Each structure stands twice: as C-alpha cells, then as structure tokens.
C-alpha cells in the first residue's frame, strides 16, 4: 500500500457525500422537498478559461471555477484552491461545507468556493502571479466585499491573495483590499489568521476532551498531513496542551516516533527537503498505519476521503479532529460512531479559518485592526459556542456529531431562506 497521506483510498464523489449528508439531516429536521432541493444545489456557479502567458513565451489555458452555494444568510465566503486534481464537484462540495460552516459559527455569511486546475509546484512566481490575476479578471463581476469574498486554500497563500486583491483594486480603480481575506498584515490582513484553522481546531479538541474526560497534557496525537494546518496543529498541541505528537505525514510518506516528534524540527525538515520523511530519529510507516495508531487524538489534515469504509474500523483514537475538508466518508462515519470514536466534524473543527477571515472582513470594513489576543479570544468564544450547540444537538437527538452539526447549521440556513421568501 502506498505510503502517501494524500492518496484517496476510495473513489467517492465529495458532492454526492454532501447530498447524502443533507438527506440524513433533512429527515431529522422534517424538511420539505422544496427546502431540500435548494439545499442540495448551488445558487450559482461560474466556469472560466484562463489564458496565461508562460515564461517560455507560450500561452497555456487553465480551467477555473467559482461556486456560490447559498447566500441566504449573507455574502459568499470561501477559499480558492490551486490543485492539479481540482474538479467542479469538489468545489461544489467545499462551497456547501462553507455554507454550513458559516451558519454553524453563526456568521452573517453564506458559502462559496473557488478552484483552478493547475500544479503550483510547476509554476514560476511570475507565472503564478499572472494566473492569480487572470482568475480575478475572469470572476471580477461575481465577487466583491459585499458580494463574495475569497480566501486562501490548498496551495494558495497570502502572497497570492495580495496579487488578487491588487488586481481587483486595479479593475475597480480604487483600493478594495476587503475583497479578499487571508492577506498579508500590511494589506489589511488580520493578526491571528496564519494559524486560525488549527487554533480553532485546538479549541474544539479542548471542549471534546472536557466531555470525554481526557487529560490533554498526557495525550498522544497523530497528524495526517503536514501542510499549514497540520504543522500549526502539531505546534499548538504541544504549546497549548503539552500533548505529544507521535506521528505525522505528508504527500511523500509517514513517520512515527514514540518519544514524540518536534513540530518545529519536522516543519524545518519539510521546508528544506520537501518531506517530513527525511527527519532523523523517526521510523517510516505506511500511510494507513498512521490512521490506526493507538493514540488519543487523530487529526486528518490532508485531503478528502482519507478515512473510509476500508480503514475506519482500524481507527483506535478516541477523538478524530477533522482539520481537512471531507476526510471521512459517510460509511466511515457510521463505523466510527458505532466504535465510540468522537468525531469533531470538519465544518466545526476547521472553522477557525473562516471565522478569523470574517474578523478580517469586519476590520477591513471599518478600517481598524484588533490585536492578536483579541482575535484569539473572539475565536475561542465562537468555536466554544458552536461545539456546545453541536454536542447538545447530538445528545438531544441521539445522533453522531456530524449529523448534529448539520442539524444546527441547516436549521439556520433554512430559517434564513424562509424569512427571505425563498421557500
């Protein structure tokens, strides 16, 4: 079996999964067929072709997307992925999850997502900048500070957001940095945005540990995926809780060390050699072996469908904290729940990113900046409130945490649709 934590072990269409999850929650909420139909389809989506002049003088055409899934509760919000395996169904699914995520955190926003089919690792900085600007030119009329606000996602970063914000401002004829979040601080970015996704996940893990009676200072952690979210998760597990990270993986392989892996050392190794597998003093293990380690907390922070019907029965962790989007298939959810594994669903666990992006929007609107401490306090309160709402719904309806999160989020979206006269 390949030692690669980004390989999708199961050929699941993520948008089919979204619709399955909606059907299950709709039955609990007793939603009408009209309400279900609106929830299961994007309000609008845009397909674009992006001609980009390459460094060698040739022109290459890239395919891009922007899906605005549901804006009943407010302007669209969601990241932009640059990924070679991007698909429209993945973008649709991610936009749907963003809709539930903003509703669950009770943010006055809807859900959206964007993507470009490309491999950023094969592009020069100049080519990447031209691609970023081409994307904004193509979707300009469909985005805006009060319409749809993109953000970084897989293989995009603050520099790419800065180029995009600048391109939108050039077209607008005035500075409009509020069109994008996840920007560098000097262009209106928010303090605390860099580790917001992981930090929000830590607050959710803390609440789950309280419910389950787990002493986090003695906890062991395995992290599947060592990108931005995975690295910050490893760092914060140690920094906030004193927990011990014993395993980590990236696209090239997985490593294990019973005594603990130093998060900073692993990150430095990945930056200098492209993989955590090149660390000294660690054991190389199979990708699926990482998922089945006897640890307290498993953090999937890579791609979709990592935990599926083939490996869910092997998961021994007491908590699965989903920092990735859609890492667990519906079949796996049932297995984990039956086995007593406490899953913190993705659109709760990784909602720190969009929450601090919302804070960035607010700061941009009134041209003021909060300090990092204030951002973290506000984030903690939002995540804590959301976790408690989901846990309460889980207990009341005797359902798993994902279904409970859907119940809370969909109820809020449907209420907004009813009030606006959509149904």
Instruction: Return the half-sphere exposure (C-beta side, CA atoms, 13 A cut-off) of residue 98.
Output: 37
Distance (Å, rounded) from C-alpha 166 to C-alpha 134? 12
Tell me which residue of 378, 407, 409, 375 sits closest to 394, measured CA to CA.
Answer: 407
Distance (Å, rounded) from C-alpha 262 to C-alpha 339? 31
Burial code of 297-316, b = ≥16 C-beta within 10 A, e = fewer?
Answer: bbbbbbbbbbbbbebbeebe
CA dist list (Å): 8 to 2, 3, 21, 159, 304: 11, 12, 20, 29, 7
**Are 187 and 209 a contacting pair, CB within 8 Å?**
no
User: Token digits for 325?
Assistant: 């989007």
Distance (Å, rounded) from C-alpha 381 to C-alpha 355? 11
**Are 336 and 328 a contacting pair, CB within 8 Å?**
yes
3-state secondary structure of 67: strand
Whether 183 is catalytic: no
**Are 107 and 354 a contacting pair, CB within 8 Å?**
yes
User: Token digits for 299?
Assistant: 């953090």
- H helices of 140-293, in order, are 158-172, 196-212, 228-236, 263-273, 287-291
User: Token digits for 93?
Assistant: 């699914």
CA dist list (Å): 65 to 69, 223, 337, 392: 12, 30, 35, 37
Give 337: exposed, middle or buried? Use CB within 10 Å, 0-12, 13-18, 19+: middle
3-state secondary structure of 158: helix
What is the dihedral sign for C-alpha 191, 194, 195, 201?
A: positive
User: Token digits for 38?
Assistant: 């609106």
Beta strands in 345-409 (DSSP E): none
User: Token digits for 423?
Assistant: 């149904």
Catalytic residue of the set 77, 101, 113, 270: 113
What is the dihedral sign for C-alpha 100, 105, 106, 107?
A: negative
For 81, phi then psi, to 5°, come to -100, 140
Which of the residues are catalytic?
A: 113
């Amino acid at each position: 079996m390949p030692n690669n934590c980004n390989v999708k072990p199961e050929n699941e269409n993520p948008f089919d999964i979204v619709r399955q999850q909606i059907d299950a929650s709709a039955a609990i909420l007793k939603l009408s067929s009209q309400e279900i139909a609106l929830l299961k389809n994007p309000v609008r989506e845009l397909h674009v072709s992006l001609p980009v002049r390459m460094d060698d003088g040739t022109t290459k055409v890239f395919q891009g997307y922007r899906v605005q899934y549901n804006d009943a509760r407010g302007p669209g919000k969601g990241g932009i992925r640059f990924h070679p395996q991007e698909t429209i169904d993945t973008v649709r699914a991610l936009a749907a999850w963003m809709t539930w995520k903003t509703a669950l955190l009770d943010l006055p926003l809807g859900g959206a997502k964007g993507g470009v089919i490309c491999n950023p690792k094969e592009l020069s900085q100049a080519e990447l900048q031209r691609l970023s600007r081409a994307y904004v030119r193509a979707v300009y009329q469909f985005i805006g500070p009060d319409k749809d606000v993109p953000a970084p996602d897989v293989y995009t970063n603050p520099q790419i957001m800065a180029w995009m914000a600048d391109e939108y401002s050039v077209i607008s004829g005035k500075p409009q940095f509020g069109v994008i979040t996840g920007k560098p601080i000097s262009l209106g970015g928010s303090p605390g945005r860099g580790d917001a996704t992981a930090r929000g996940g830590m607050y959710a893990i803390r609440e789950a540990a309280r419910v389950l009676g787990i002493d986090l200072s003695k906890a062991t952690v395995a992290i599947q995926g060592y990108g931005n979210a995975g690295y910050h998760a490893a760092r914060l597990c140690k920094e906030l809780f004193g927990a011990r990270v014993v395993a980590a993986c990236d696209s090239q392989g997985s490593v294990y060390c019973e005594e603990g892996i130093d998060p900073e050392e692993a990150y430095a190794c990945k930056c200098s050699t492209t993989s955590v597998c090149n660390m000294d003093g660690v054991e190389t293990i199979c990708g699926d072996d990482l998922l089945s380690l006897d640890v307290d907390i498993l953090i999937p922070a890579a791609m979709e469908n990592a935990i599926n019907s083939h490996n869910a029965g092997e998961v021994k962790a007491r908590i699965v904290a989903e920092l990735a989007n859609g890492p667990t298939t519906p079949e796996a959810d049932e297995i984990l729940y039956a086995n007593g594994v406490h899953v913190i669903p993705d659109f709760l666990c990784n909602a720190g990113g969009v929450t601090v992006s919302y804070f960035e929007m607010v700061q941009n609107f009134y041209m003021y900046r909060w300090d990092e401490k204030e951002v973290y306090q506000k984030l903690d309160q939002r995540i804590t409130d959301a976790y408690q709402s989901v846990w309460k719904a889980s207990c009341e309806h005797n359902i798993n945490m994902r279904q409970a999160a859907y119940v809370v989020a969909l109820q809020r979206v449907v209420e907004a649709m009813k009030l606006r006269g959509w149904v």
